[in-house]
Structure 1
Amino acid sequence: MSLLRAANGFERIHNGIYQRGRTGEVPLLPTDLAELESMALAALQPEHAGYLNGGAGRGRTVATNRGAFDRLELTPAVLNNVAHRDHATTLCSTRMAAPVFVSPMGGLSLAHPDADTAIVRAAAERGVPTAISPMACTRVEDLARAAPDSVRWMELLWHNNDAVIDSMLARAQESGIDTLIIGVDLPTLGWRPAALDHAYLPFLHGVGATNILTDPAFLAMMNNPQDHDERARRWSELSADASRTWESLERLRARWRGPLIVKGLQRPSDARRAVNAGADAVFVSNHGGRQVDGAAATLSLLPAIVDEIDGDVPVLVDGGVRSGADVVMALALGADAVGLGRLVLWGLTVAGQDGVGHVLDCVLAEMDATIANLGVASAQDLRAADVVREYSGERSIC
């Protein structure tokens, strides 16, 4: 059994830093993970940073996602027995060391040459699942071989060509992917000035388009597969289909035999509709603030969606998570699992697989320490423990 899957294994990450400090060793990267952002942005080319880190419009939703965590506070309970803690869970048939996963992100070779492979390997070592992006820079078959126990989830880009969709579904199943994520919040690309100002969309340059450009059904559409201009044009023709409806979701459900997660839900009524259409889990997400400038924070939307679903299927959430304490807040509001996006991107940019591992170690160890100090022994017990509330703006001193 992996150390991180053992009881209280995350605490050993925490204690290990102090033990190594006895010989003068300090962490190579900051343990306040928010500090990684400036390091990562300094390392990226401006046009690459514009695509990878930019948000929609004036960035209000990116800020709102983050600000929602600052409006909450935790209320510890004391003298509870939390000596033996276990945060392991199973979601959509995937065993997880903790209710944490890596959200799908595309074009990652802009950040580091090892890109998706570095992430899946670091995550696999820690029992954390990675949701493979449809815009991965490595073929899904190769990622599955790189981390066969971790690569179980894949997001599908909802193309307007059924032959390509069927081919991607078949490739996913043959690679051992058993859970499909379908994003429903991308009928068209959001208005992203940080990318537009550089006129740079990586997929038109072949970055993050690997799975499509190597797909047999896509290649069959080409007159000349070696013609870069034709490839870019054909890829653009295939991109997100704005004609998709709830009936389209039902048809996709019928075509995929494994668990189906519907991502990009922001209304309780849409979450319920997704369940009625056959979703095995609902994913509260606003695309990291990259689609609609001024959209509500996912953390703020979470409680109403959790109440609407009422335990019928798991509820996942991402957006604005910057620490293990943030993970705890989302879990306390009812999420069954929490996705990490930009944090992992920053770790990858700064130090590749080691940087991703550092981010995951810090998140998992802080999550465990926070849960223990709240007087709770399991991440799954956080909501019932009633340890989170909205900050009233008033403080009392006792």
Structure 2
Amino acid sequence: MSEKNVAGPGRRRQNDIYRAGVLGRRPAVPTDFPELERRARKASTATGWAYVAGGAGQGRTMRNNRAAFDRWAIVPRMLRGHATRNLSRNLLGTELTAPILLAPVGAGQLIAPDADLHTARAAAATGVPYVFTNQGGTPMEEAAAAMGDTPRWVQLYWSTDEGLVDSLIQRAEAIGAGALVITLDTTLLGWRPQDLNLGSLPFARGLGIAQYTSDPRFRQLVAERIRRAASARPEVTLGAIKSLLSITRNHPGSFLDNLRSPEPRASVETFLDIYSNPRLSWDHIATLRDRTRLPVVLKGIVHPDDAKQAFALGVEGIVVSNHGGRQIDSSIAALDALVRVREAVGPDATVLMDSGIRSGADVFTALALGADAVLLGRPYMYGLAIAGQRGVEEVIANVIAELELTMALTGVQNLAEITRDLVVRNP
């Protein structure tokens, strides 16, 4: 059998890098996470880095997420005789070429002006599904057009306006979303010192609200707000003027027309009023079966009882996640929660995981401990910061390459063979 026939994505990726190295070329992004993070920080603004890389409180949950991976070790098996590997999986009707989806990351405009489009195009180029963020800078219709036939899911933050919830769901259906991902753990923003110390909330400057300003129900709410507006003028400071210019620049339409219109500022104020529903409950989730034909995935589950309740209500899947450590300081690590959740719901329930995934070896460990697939977040955003769309593509390629090589060196031929006996507690 020729090398071409036995070379999987890992070996191909290595060969591409080494052959380019002969010509004096290096990868656009580093292949190890610490250097990837270091260079992304250097390439980012202070506000962009605080928002994307920062965590809640003292950052203990972020550290917990990584420490949880360090507590597990992979146990390779030898002489299995497998020359090729199959990384594919069907997830709720979505065909995956690898068990990875790109996580929804809000306010990506802080990292790159067209972050959502760069990510959508990178997802299409690599064949990896992308979960569109509800807090994007590009309407979901434009991001979907950039992806072609590549699968996409859509995240939903549950607004206090039920009409807006229905409108966003209908738009997700119209763009061919494979699933609706309801984020549960952000009914309020966590205590995020990196953002607070800078006084930086991107949404207040018109960033990350394009799903709203492109929505007919939201625009109706904005029009009603303008009609009710009092004559009181906002406080005028240099910072307020800069924020107004940012709001105006990021609002759909002509900058000059927006500057003369009350709509941009009213849109931001309306968003801040209705963005997320702190009263969100299981009763809201129970209404979804009558509101959408899409598979429903609940994101933010870390307790086994919540996982069982979700499946009892008929949702199709869950994402075990602590929001990358951005919501609660000193929360349980997502990987530790995954072990408990999988034991509670049994082998057949669809369970994804995010928070703390940094490498292909991490993906392998998460799969061995019960995840059907993982969502990749910060690493691809760091690639975006360094090299735009190409950076995202290279991060995806690196993670998949390391996963496939880990499978090869562990004697695993397909995802079903990545089982619990291939990892042990690290003493």
**Structures share fold, TM-score greater than 0.5:** yes
Q: Is residue 193 of structure 2 the alignment partner of residue 193 of structure 1?
A: yes
| Of 153-162 and 29-38, the range deviating more from structure 2 | 29-38
**RMSD of Structure 2 on Structure 1 (CA):** 1.5
How far does residue 312 in structure 1 lie from its aligned partner after superposition?
3.3
- Residue 222 of structure 1 aligns to a residue whose secondary structure is helix
Q: Is residue 391 of structure 2 the alignment partner of residue 391 of structure 1?
A: no
How far does residue 70 in structure 1 lie from its aligned partner after superposition?
1.2
Alignment of 1:154-233 (within 5 A): 154-223=154-223, 224=226, 226-233=262-269
Task: Measure the CA separation in 2 of the matches of 1:321 and 1:46.
Answer: 24
Indicate the residue corresponding to 2:337 in structure 1.
Answer: 301
Percent identity between the two aligned chains: 38
- Residue 176 of structure 2 aligns to a residue whose secondary structure is coil
Alignment of 1:71-110 (within 5 A): 71-110=71-110
- Residue 131 of structure 1 aligns to a residue whose secondary structure is strand
TM-score, length of structure 2 as denominator length: 0.87
Write the deviation string for residues 49-96 of structure 1: whole angstroms up to 9, x where unpaired.
112211000110011111111111111110012202111111011111
Q: Is residue 379 of structure 2 the alignment partner of residue 343 of structure 1?
A: yes
Task: Measure the CA separation in 2 of the matches of 1:314 and 1:221.
Answer: 37
Indicate the residue corresponding to 1:374 in structure 2.
Answer: 410
Task: Measure the CA separation in 2 of the matches of 1:218 and 1:390.
Answer: 50
Task: Measure the CA separation in 1 of the matches of 2:266 and 2:23.
Answer: 58
Indicate the residue corresponding to 1:332 in structure 2.
Answer: 368
Which amino acid in the other structure matches residue 75 of structure 2?
A: T
Q: Is residue 358 of structure 2 the alignment partner of residue 322 of structure 1?
A: yes
How far does residue 151 in structure 1 lie from its aligned partner after superposition?
4.3
Which amino acid in the other structure matches residue 311 of structure 1?
A: P
Task: Measure the CA separation in 1 of the matches of 2:69 and 2:194.
Answer: 25
How far does residue 220 in structure 1 lie from its aligned partner after superposition?
0.7
2:325 to 278, 283, 289: 289
Write the deviation string for residues 205-252 of structure 1: whole angstroms up to 9, x where unpaired.
110000112211011112347433322211111121111111110112
Count of aligned pairs between the two proteins: 386
Which amino acid in the other structure matches residue 357 of structure 2?
A: V
- Residue 424 of structure 2 aligns to a residue whose secondary structure is strand
Task: Measure the CA separation in 2 of the matches of 1:353 and 1:34.
Answer: 20
Indicate the residue corresponding to 1:138 in structure 2.
Answer: 138
Alignment of 1:103-118 (within 5 A): 103-118=103-118
| Of 359-368 and 110-119, the range deviating more from structure 2 | 110-119
Which amino acid in the other structure matches residue 221 of structure 1?
A: L
- Residue 197 of structure 1 aligns to a residue whose secondary structure is helix
How far does residue 10 in structure 1 lie from its aligned partner after superposition?
4.0
Which amino acid in the other structure matches residue 114 of structure 1?
A: D
Question: 2:301–2:321: 8 Å Cα contact kept in structure 1?
Answer: yes
Task: Measure the CA separation in 2 of the matches of 1:28 and 1:142.
Answer: 27
Question: 1:120–1:151: 8 Å Cα contact kept in structure 2?
Answer: no
Indicate the residue corresponding to 2:397 in structure 1.
Answer: 361
- Gaps of at least 5 residues in structure 1 are 1-5, 393-398
Which amino acid in the other structure matches residue 154 of structure 2?
A: M
Question: 2:94–2:151: 8 Å Cα contact kept in structure 1?
Answer: no
TM-score, length of structure 1 as denominator length: 0.94
| Of 305-314 and 364-373, the range deviating more from structure 2 | 305-314
Task: Measure the CA separation in 2 of the matches of 1:207 and 1:187.
Answer: 19
Question: 1:92–1:259: 8 Å Cα contact kept in structure 2?
Answer: yes
Which amino acid in the other structure matches residue 29 of structure 1?
A: V
Q: Which has the larger radius of gyration?
A: 2
Question: 2:28–2:394: 8 Å Cα contact kept in structure 1?
Answer: no
Task: Measure the CA separation in 2 of the matches of 1:196 and 1:23.
Answer: 46
- Gaps of at least 5 residues in structure 2 are 1-5, 227-260
- Residue 15 of structure 2 aligns to a residue whose secondary structure is helix
Task: Measure the CA separation in 1 of the matches of 2:151 and 2:371.
Answer: 22
- Residue 418 of structure 2 aligns to a residue whose secondary structure is helix
| Of 25-34 and 181-190, the range deviating more from structure 2 | 25-34
Task: Measure the CA separation in 2 of the matches of 1:179 and 1:228.
Answer: 31
- Could you list the runs of 4 or more consecutive aligned residues of structure 1 that deviate by over 4 angstroms after TM superposition? none
Which amino acid in the other structure matches residue 113 of structure 1?
A: P
How far does residue 178 in structure 1 lie from its aligned partner after superposition?
2.8
Task: Measure the CA separation in 1 of the matches of 2:101 and 2:378.
Answer: 12
How far does residue 21 in structure 1 lie from its aligned partner after superposition?
3.0
